Amino acid sequence: MRILAVDDDPIIQDLLRDSLAAQGQTDLTLASSAEEAVALLEAAKRPFETFLLDIHLPGSDGIDLCRQIRAQDRHRMTPIIMITASREPDMMHRAFDAGATDYVSKPFDSLELGTRVKLAQMLNESVLREQSNRHRLEELTRLTRIEFDERVALTGIEGICDILEIENQLLRSTTGCYAMSLLAVEMISAHSRYSSVSAAQFRQDLDSIGKAIADSVNVGNTRVAYAGHGIFVLVLHGRKRIDVRSLSQEINDRLADEWSPISDTARKAPETRTLEISGNRLWSGMAASNALNAFLSKSDRIPMIKRAEEEQLFAAMRKRMFQSD
């Protein structure tokens, strides 16, 4: 572990070197003043992993140096241990306000110093793991990003198919008329929800709605698919008139009962509304396909935003997800 120790007393420097070496910490850099320490920081190709700062230094004191270290992005979370012979509470308050992590009192022994440095090392490793996890999550979010208008195939949910399967089936039904009902289930405030959550969370919303729909209909005579824009389309075969209000209530009840959010436990289940695409009961395959596409292509159904505005929304989302205190 790379350690920078700053103390103007040569005896203390020797004690630090010997004590840390006894603990297996040999990558030690020493400085006698805050100014010398800042110069070492500026010249360092790799960041230091722990700082030991004497509070009383010639020129700028250790508290000012602590504040300067914290101002550097690469040392914003690096452990800083203050070395002090003072017992003044106000001084230690100022040190912690400046960003100090811990302190050790003079005169110190090897065991106490070694324990403090070991704790700093554990903190460092924890921070590195967290940063690594964040980078992986950022990359996963980038790779799994879903476009709002994307017709995502919700695999693994019984009763849910791809929207192209529905279109192909309808278009192959070229002769005769068929008893069918065409419905849509829309996620309420879908675009707002899409813009405020991660890709994984939005995908969970879609999966949850898809499963609630599939559990609320007879999948034997119903084709269900996600068509983008937070809209699911349903093609129900048979002459029976569907009670749209009851179906809508059942879907939302299932969503609320089975909701188990990822990442954000305070996030509420999505809400939906169910509506008839048309009141017709008899359709040719071509007419049914045209009715579905006309419904989905209505320009005033979903308020679209400019690409630049969309990128700003995603940047704000990422900032909320990954910002550290």
- How far is residue 136's CA from residue 11's CA, in Å, rounded to a whole number? 45
User: What pLDDT sits at residue 320?
Assistant: 57
Domain ranges for the chain, please list them: 3-143, 160-322
Rounded-to-integer distance, Cα 90 and Cα 71, Å: 22
Q: Taking every pair of C-alpha atoms in the chain, what is the biggest distance, in angstroms?
A: 99
Question: Which pLDDT score, from 0 to 100, does residue 306 have?
Answer: 47
- CA distances for 52 relative to 3, 25, 30, 119, 151, angstroms: 7, 13, 9, 13, 56
- State residue 53's pLDDT score: 93
Q: Over the stretch 146-179, which tens digit does the pLDDT of each residue have?
A: 788 888 888 778 888 888 888 888 888 767 788 9
Backbone angles phi, psi at 130, to 5 degrees: -65, -45
- The set of long-range contacts for 311-316, using a CB threshold of 8 Å and a minimum separation of 24, is 313/195, 313/196, 314/145, 314/195
User: Rounded to whole angstroms, what are the CA distances from 245 to 241, 242, 248, 273, 274?
Assistant: 12, 9, 5, 9, 7
The residues near 311 (Cβ < 8 Å, ≥ 6 apart) are none
- Residue 151 makes CB contacts below 8 A (sequence gap 6+) with 162, 163, 164, 225, 226, 227, 228
Say if residue 246's pLDDT is above 90. yes
- 15: which 2 tokens? 């004690």
> In which band, very low, low, confident or very high, does the pLDDT at 302 lie, cut at 50, 70 and 90?
very low
User: Is residue 299 very low, low, confident or very high in pLDDT (cuts 50, 70, 90)?
Assistant: very low
**Global pTM value:** 0.51
**Closest-CA residue to 103 (of 30, 152, 33, 52):** 52
307 burial (CB, 10 Å; 0-12 / 13-18 / 19+) is: exposed
CA torsion, ordered 238, 243, 248, 253, to nearest 10 deg: -100
Q: Give the CA distances from residue 232 to residues 154, 184, 212, in Å, rounded to whole numbers and listed in that order.
A: 11, 6, 11
Query: CA-CA distances (angstroms) from residue 253 to 100, 193, 194, 247, 250?
Result: 51, 19, 22, 10, 5
The pLDDT, as a whole number, for residue 212 is 94
Output the pLDDT for position 123: 73
Is the pLDDT at 192 greater than 80, yes or no? yes
Per-residue pLDDT tens over the stretch 100-145: 888 888 877 777 787 778 887 777 676 666 655 555 655 555 555 6
- Chain-wide mean pLDDT for the chain? 83
Task: Report, as an integer, the average pLDDT of 284-301.
Answer: 82
Q: Within 13 Å and on the Cβ side, how many CA atoms surround 252?
A: 15
CA distance 146 to 206: 11
Q: What is the pLDDT of residue 73?
A: 86
- Contact indicator for 63, 97 with CB cutoff of 8 Å: no
Helices then strands (H, E): number in the chain? 11, 11
Which CATH topology does 3-143 take? Rossmann fold (3.40.50)
For residue 313, what pLDDT is reported?
52
The tens digit of pLDDT for each residue in 54-104 reads 998 988 899 999 999 999 988 888 889 988 887 677 788 888 889 888 888
275-282: average pLDDT: 90
- Helix H or strand E encompassing 184: strand 178-187
CATH, domain 160-322, list 3.40.50.720, 3.30.70.270, 3.40.710.10, 3.30.43.10: 3.30.70.270
Cβ pair 157, 214 in contact under 8 A: yes
User: Cα–Cα distance between 95 and 102 in angstroms, integer?
Assistant: 9
